[in-house]
Amino acid sequence: MELPQKQHSLAWRKFKRNRTGLFGSVLILIYLMTALLAPVIFPRNPSSLNLMKSLERPSIENPLGTDELGRSILGRIIYGSRVSLLIAIGVVAVGLLVGVPLGLISGYYGGKVDFGIQRVTDTMLAFPGFLLALALVAVLGVGLKNTIISVGISMVPIYIRLVRGCTLLVREQTYVEAARAVGTRDAMILLRHILPNVLVPIVIQTSLGMGTAILFAAGLGFLGIGVQPPTPEWGAMLGSGRAYLFNAPHVATFPGIAIFFAVLGFNLSGDGLRDVLDPRFKI
Q: Which residues bind other proteins (CB under 8 A)?
A: 1-4, 110-111, 173-185, 188, 192-193, 196-197
Find the shortest distance in angstroms from Cβ 196 to other proteins: 4
The residues, any chain, with a CB within 8 Å of residue 162's CB and separated by 6 or more, are 99, 103, 201, 202, 205
Q: How far is CA 103 from CA 116, 163, 273, in A?
A: 12, 5, 22
Find the shortest distance in angstroms from Cβ 102 to other proteins: 20
Find the shortest distance in angstroms from Cβ 7 to other proteins: 9
Find the shortest distance in angstroms from Cβ 176 to other proteins: 8
Looking at the Cβ atoms of 158 and 195, the one nearer to other proteins is: 195
Looking at the Cβ atoms of 87 and 166, the one nearer to other proteins is: 166
Find the shortest distance in angstroms from Cβ 160 to other proteins: 21
Looking at the Cβ atoms of 82 and 180, the one nearer to other proteins is: 180
Find the shortest distance in angstroms from Cβ 174 to other proteins: 4
Looking at the Cβ atoms of 9 and 48, the one nearer to other proteins is: 9
Looking at the Cβ atoms of 164 and 193, the one nearer to other proteins is: 193
Looking at the Cβ atoms of 125 and 199, the one nearer to other proteins is: 199
